[in-house]
């Protein structure tokens, strides 16, 4: 297999595994009465940046598509999961920070997310679905 086809196969394999893990996790989160992974994504990014992030910075860092980012942030703030504070030197600008309630929710969600990542990756490795990735890394 030529180098391009090997990389293409690896990219497809990674995306298939990610998509399956994502869908399985979303179903499990819903069954547990928890928000979707895009909320986890926001909380994780804010937890990694204790000084907070401006909304445009946060949006650039996210792993998942955020089609209604502003509304999502507003809902998360209303639920006390993040705070929106004035940015230093910019009266109209905001800095977003995770709250303790947001950290607690992220931790709750992580239990489910991690289990699906572990299971999905283990299954994909055992079945050979990620073999093309190994070929690229060799």
Nearest alpha carbon to residue 73 among 60, 84, 86, 85: 84
Q: Which fold has domain 3-137?
A: Arc Repressor Mutant, subunit A (1.10.10)
Question: Residue with structure tokens 């999961």?
Answer: 81
Is the pLDDT confidence value at 131 over 80? yes
Where are the domains positioned within the chain? 3-137
* DSSP output for 26-48: HHHHHHTT---HHHHHHHHHHHH
Q: Do 53 and 96 meet the contact criterion of CB atoms below 8 Å apart? A: yes
Q: How many whole angstroms separate alpha carbon 100 and alpha carbon 33?
A: 19
The string of pLDDT tens digits covering residues 8-26 is 999 999 999 999 999 999 9
User: Which of 32-36, 63-67, 91-95 is the least confident region?
Assistant: 63-67
Higher pLDDT among residues 133 and 108, named by residue: 108
Instruction: Measure CA 24 to chain center.
Output: 14
For the chain, helix (H) and strand (E) counts, in that order, are: 6, 2
Is the pLDDT confidence value at 136 over 90? no
The string of pLDDT tens digits covering residues 81-106 is 999 998 877 667 899 999 999 999 99
The pLDDT, as a whole number, for residue 1 is: 61
């Amino acid at each position: 297999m030529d180098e391009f086809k090997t990389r293409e196969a690896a990219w497809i394999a990674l995306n298939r595994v990610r998509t399956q893990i994502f869908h399985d996790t979303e179903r499990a989160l819903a069954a547990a009465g928890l928000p979707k992974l895009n909320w986890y994504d926001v909380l994780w990014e804010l937890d990694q940046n204790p000084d907070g992030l401006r909304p445009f910075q946060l949006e650039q860092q996210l792993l998942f598509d955020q089609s209604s980012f502003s509304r999502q942030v507003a809902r998360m703030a209303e639920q006390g999961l993040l705070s929106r504070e004035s940015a230093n030197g910019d009266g109209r600008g905001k800095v977003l920070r995770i709250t303790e309630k947001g950290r607690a929710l992220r931790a709750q969600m992580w239990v489910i997310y991690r289990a699906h990542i572990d299971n999905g990756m283990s299954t994909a490795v055992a079945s050979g679905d990620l073999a093309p990735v190994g070929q690229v890394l060799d």
